[in-house]
Amino acid sequence: MEAIILAGGFGTRLRPLTYTRAKSLLPILNKPMIIHLIDSLPSEIDKVILAVNYRKDQIEEYFSKHDCGKEIIINDEKTPLGTGGATKYAEKHITGRFLVLNSDIICSLNLDKMINFHKKNNSAATISLWPVKNVSEFGVVDVQKDGKIISFVEKPKPEDAPSNLINAGAYCLEPLVLDYIKKGRLVSMEKEIFPRIINDTDRFYGFKFQGYWMDIGRISSFLEVNRFLLDLKKLDFCKGVNCIVNGVLKKSTIGDNVFIGSNSDIKETIVFNNVKIGYNVILSNCVIGENSEINNGCKLEYIVVGDNEKIKEKTTLENTIIWTQPKPKDYPDKQIGNAVIN
């Protein structure tokens, strides 16, 4: 059985971290985001097709050096194709029932149970469902007691919402779904394909699950998922290899080859590989990119420091991005507003 993992986006709301790396390779507890997802796949998934575009070479290099126990196929999209277009583009690798998953979602979904639910109901398509408080911000599903979905309602008023359940970004699909998707163009599965499957087959189901669901779409959620998983694993911090820590780590993750000087306090922060942090430094809710240097006496709160940056001694900053280098060519710049706090 195959799984298509969508990993082609720029991750503009996670810049400047994504100026220099693929979003799917961002580390969560020192392990790339996409590996958390691959590790959650059932044993019957023996082939993983990665739908990629931006930083394709970086993703290829990573998987050429790391064996994740499954066959990995890098499916290079020359232009972004959306959920549906990327799924159709992978058609030549599909041999039967298959999964489609978003690389930027960390959740407690049990994919084995979802596949069994799909089989039991002889479903043409099954999507994961997650409850939300504010239905007016999402497209919600009209779902029957047996899990059959009869329609989607986009951003309803609370009093008009048929449920509080949204599409949580994991799909189990039969090959017939591929016949509905036109080749070589941008296609939204959710808006263009799923309504037709509902109308034509009457075999479209939703699988509800409980636990946690986190969309790693911005810096705040990137920080949140690291904190959450530390708590889940009952850890106060996560540390890579070859680190020297003379300060205090609290609810933080540091990568490999990190130096932290004396009397420094690192709280709810993510530090990438090869970073030097001086003495008397206070970091709170920050992300520090690779090969960066935070010099003595700095106080940073809600700061994102890109790769290869250097912060001068006794700098005090709050709620900003540090990036002094040229922006990568052809990288879009669409995000407006605060990049750190929701």
pLDDT digits (tens, 9 = 90+) for 187-201: 888 888 999 999 999
Q: Where are the alpha helices (DSSP H) in 4-153?
A: 33-39, 56-65, 82-89, 111-120
* pTM of the complete model: 0.90
| Token pair 């087959």 in the structure block, residue | 201
Residues of the chain with CATH 2.160.10.10: 235-322
Q: Where are the alpha helices (DSSP H) in 147-302?
A: 194-201, 219-232
Beta carbons of 148 and 204 less than 8 angstroms apart: yes
pLDDT for residue 342 is more than 60? no
Type of residue numbered 129: L
Q: Is 312 a catalytic residue?
A: no
Indicate the SS3 state at residue 160.
helix
The kind and range of the H/E element at 131 are strand 125-131
Using 50, 70 and 90 to split pLDDT, how confident is the model at 60? very high
Count Cα atoms within 13 angstroms, Cβ side, for 41. 30
Question: What percent of the chain has pLDDT above 70?
Answer: 97
144, with CB counted inside 10 A (0-12, 13-18, 19+), is exposed
Residues of the chain with CATH 3.90.550.10: 2-215
Q: Where are the alpha helices (DSSP H) in the chain?
A: 33-39, 56-65, 82-89, 111-120, 194-201, 219-232
Buried b (16+ CB within 10 A) or exposed e, 177-198: bbebbeeeeebebbebbbeebb
Q: Quote the pLDDT of residue 334.
A: 65
Q: Quote the pLDDT of residue 112.
A: 96
Indicate the SS3 state at residue 47.
strand
Sign of the dihedral through C-alpha 14, 270, 220, 32: positive
The CATH number of domain 2-215 is 3.90.550.10: yes
What mean pLDDT do residues 169-194 have? 90
Name the phi and psi angles at 115, rounded to 5: -65, -40
Report how far residue 324's alpha carbon sits from residue 286's, in angstroms, rounded to the nearest whole number. 17
Give the CATH architecture of domain 235-322.
3 Solenoid (2.160)
> Of 113, 119, 155, 327, which is the active-site residue?
155
Report how far residue 5's alpha carbon sits from residue 88's, in angstroms, rounded to the nearest whole number. 13
- Of 105-109, 149-153, 229-233, 266-270, the one with minimum mean pLDDT is 149-153
Q: Write out the two tokens for 53.
A: 């575009």
Beta carbons of 37 and 49 less than 8 angstroms apart: no
How far apart, in Å, do the first and last CA atoms of the chain sit? 38
Q: List, for residues 202-236, the tens digit of each pLDDT value.
A: 999 999 999 999 999 899 999 999 999 999 999 99
Nearest to 324 by CA among 296, 289, 298: 289
